[in-house]
Amino acid sequence: MIIEVCADSYEYAEKAEKAGADRIELCKHLHLDGLTPNYKTAKKTIENLNIPVFVLIRPRHGDFNYSEKEFELMKADIVKFKEMGCKGIVSGILNNDNTIDIKRTNELVNLSRPLEFTFHRAFDVVTDPLKELEKLIQLGVERVLTSGQKQKAVKGIELLKELKKNAKDKIIIMPGSGINKLNIMNFRSFNEIHGSFKNEINTNVLL
């Protein structure tokens, strides 16, 4: 099982690596569910860690319906972080009706290539998750980060399992939100999981 740790600082990313993390999703302001990290932090993290660093591209908190100005900033940030050497991009855009904005998300995916692309937890507010999953498969997105549309992934486990079944290995379903060593067994059928794992990392033993 691949364990991706969400880190909002270089220091935490470094601790996560030492505790056994397989990959980092780098952001800032975790209390706002994560925003695009600053360039200085990203550069230091990418250059000094030995595990892959994926970068979150989310220009502001709130909904996932972005203006044209915000969209242009997202694209510019992807180019910048690719130049720094990150290994993946985490992002996504929705329409006003909470369906996936296929056109603009596709632009982000193509701009990210040849890096991997994760569609983030904007997926947890789409109105028809199984239908939207098919759209992401068609776009060639590598994985979806989701809590199963619940506040905590353990409460969304039934939808998570249904998504995994429908994915048929065409896309990775990566559960995230509230996963820890006490409930990890609920996710043993998944190949990747995501979380901040603060208690585990602070004791230097991830799971």
**CB of 125 closer than 8 Å to CB of 99:** no
| b/e code 10-43 from CB counts within 10 Å (16+ = b) | bebbbbbbebbbbbbbbbbeeeeebbbbeeebbb
Residue 197, C-beta contacts closer than 8 angstroms, at least 6 positions apart: 3, 5, 16, 19, 21, 179, 180, 206, 207
Indicate if the pLDDT at residue 169 is higher than 90: no
Residue-wise pLDDT tens digits, 77-126: 999 999 999 999 999 999 999 999 999 999 999 999 999 999 999 999 99
Least confident of 17-21, 33-37, 198-202: 198-202
Indicate if the pLDDT at residue 162 is higher than 90: yes
Q: Kindly report the pTM of this predicted structure.
A: 0.94
CATH classification (class only), 2-202? alpha beta
Q: Is residue 59 classed as helix, strand or coil in its secondary structure?
A: coil
CA–CA gap between residue 110 and residue 104 (Å, rounded)? 10
